[in-house]
Structure 1
Amino acid sequence: MRTDFDPSAMGPRAFYRLLTSVVVPRPIAWVSTVSEERPDRPNLAPHSFFSVSCVEPPIVQFTSVTRKDSLRNVEETGEFVVNLAPEGLFREINDTATDFPAEVSEFDAVGLAPEPSLRVKPPRVAASPAALECVLHSMLTLGDSTVVFGRVVHAVVSEEMLADDGLPDIGRLRPLTRLGRDEWGTLGNVLDKPRIRWRDWQAGERS
C-alpha cells in the first residue's frame, strides 16, 4: 500500500514539509554575505537547498526560499562564501537560521569569528574547516524562490582536514545535513565502492 499526496490539494507549506522529508539528506550551504550599506556587519545563514551545478567552470548553487538577507546582499555585491557546516558547530549553525534584523550580524549574535576571504569581500567563518569563495554567475527565479549560481574563484580547506591524497577527508570534516521537520543528520557509515565501467560489466567483473 502507498499513500498519495497531491501538491495542489495540500497547499505549498504542507507539501514543502513532505518534500523536505523525502529529499534527504541535504547538504548545507552556510552562506556569508555583506551588504553595500553595512559591509562591517556580515550576514551568515544556512541554506539546505545546495549543490554543485557545473565543473568547468566550477559553479555551485543555493536556493533562497523567499527573499532573505543572503539573496539581497548577493544581488547588491555579486559575491558570497559557502562555508562548510560541521557537526562541531551545530548550535551556531542552527542559531544563524534565526530571523535576525538585517542590521544585526549573525557572526556577532552567535559568537563566531570571521576571517578575511582572499578573493571576495564577504568573510569566511574562521571555525569552519572549508570554504568556497564565489562571485555571482546568475540567478533563476522559480515561484517564491531564487536559485543563486556562484562561480567558485577560490577554495580553502584546513590542513588538518586533508588526507594523504591531498583531498578533504569526510571523517574529519564531519558535515551536517538537513532532514525533514527540525531534524538534522550527522555522518554515518561511509560506503566506498568504485563505479563499474561498461567493459568490466560486459566481462562480468562485478562485486
Structure 2
Amino acid sequence: MTQSHFYEPSAGHRLAHDPLKAIIAPRPIGWISSVDAAGAINLAPYSFFNMVSDDPPMVMFSSNGWKDSVRNVSETGEFVANLAVRFLAEQMNLSSAAVPPEVDEMELADLQKAPSTLVKPPRVAAAPAALECKCVSIQRLRGLGDVESSNYMVIGQIVGVHIDPAFLINGIFDTAGAAPLGRCGYRGDYAEVTSLFEMVRP
C-alpha cells in the first residue's frame, strides 16, 4: 500500500497550495442575486453552494465574511440562485469583482435583468435556470471547540423555479446542454459539465 500524504489542516499542508478546494471539486457555483433594503442590486458567485434538501427544496451558499450578499439577504430575506454556465462564464467572473455596495454587478457584467415572480431580486435573464429563494437561516459557522469562523452560511427555501424552455427536452432539463460551471480549486480552475453517464442505484 502506497503511503499517503497525510496532514492535519491545523498544522499546515506542506504543499505549494492548499489542496482541499481541488479535492472537493467540482463545486457548483451559486450565482446569487440579491437586493438590499433600499433596492440596490448585487450579483456575486459563490463556490460554496449546493442543494441541501429536496423536501422542502433548499439550497445554501457560504460566504467568507459578511459580504453584500449575506447582508442583503439578512435585510430582505430573499435571493435568487442563477445557474452559472459556460456561455456566461466571463460575465460570472466579472461579477466577482470587489466593488462598492452601490455598484450593480449585473450592469457591470453587461447582463440583462429579468423580473422574479415571488421575490424582489431580479434574475439573470440569460441563465438557463434560476431559483427564487426565501431565507430560512443565516448561521455563523463554528469549528471544534466552538471556535468562531469568518464564514456565514445562508440557507434558503426554493419558492419558485425558472427554466429556459430551450433547455427542456421531453420534459427533462438538459444539464449537459446547459454546461453548468464548477469550481475546481486552484487559482482560476473551473470545469463545465459537457456529458453525463447513467448508473442505476442497486
Give the TM-score, by structure 1 length: 0.88
Q: Distance in 2 between matches of 1:68 and 1:19?
A: 23
Task: Please state how far the C-alpha of 1:68 moved relative to its aligned partner.
Answer: 1.0
Contact 2:85 2:178 in 1 (8 A): yes
Deviation at 1:189, TM superposition (A): 3.6
Q: Residues 15 and 162 from structure 1, CA distance in 2 versus in 1: closer, same or farther, beyond 3 angstroms? A: farther
Distance in structure 2 (CA, Å) of the matches to 1:77 and 1:16: 38
Name the counterpart of 1:93. Answer: 92
Q: Deviations over 1:65-108 (max 9, x none)?
A: 21111000000000000000010011001111111111101011
1:77-116 alignment runs, 5 A limit: 77-116=76-115
Q: Distance in 2 between matches of 1:95 and 1:5?
A: 35
Structure showing the higher strand proportion among its residues: 2
Match of 1:49 in 2: 48
Mapped to 1, the partners of 2:17 and 2:66 lie a distance apart of: 17
**Following the alignment from structure 2 to structure 1, what is the Cα–Cα distance between the partners of residues 26 and 175?**
15
> Which of the pair has more CA radius of gyration?
1
Q: Which runs of 5+ in 1 are unaligned?
A: 197-207
Distance in 2 (alpha carbons) for counterparts of 1:42 and 1:17: 33
Q: Is 1:162 aligned to 2:168, yes or no?
A: yes
Q: Does the 8 A contact of 2:44 with 2:96 survive in 1?
A: yes
Aligned with residue 11 of structure 2, among 9, 12, 37: 9
Q: Which runs of 5+ in 2 are unaligned?
A: 142-148
Task: Tell me the distance in 1 between the aligned counterparts of 2:58 and 2:106.
Answer: 26
Cross-structure match for 2:183: 178
Secondary structure at the aligned position of 2:66 is classed as coil
Q: Equivalents in 2 of 1:118, 1:154: separation in Å?
A: 7
Offset at 1:21? 1.1
> Is the Cα contact below 8 Å between 2:176 and 2:195 reproduced in 1?
no
Q: What's the counterpart of residue 24 of structure 1?
A: 25
Distance 1:132 1:180 in 2: 25
Aligned residues: 191
Partner of 1:205: none
The percent identity for this pair of structures is 39
Name the one with the larger helix percent: 1
Compute the RMSD of aligned alpha carbons.
1.7
Q: Is the 8 A contact 1:7 1:15 kept in 2?
A: no
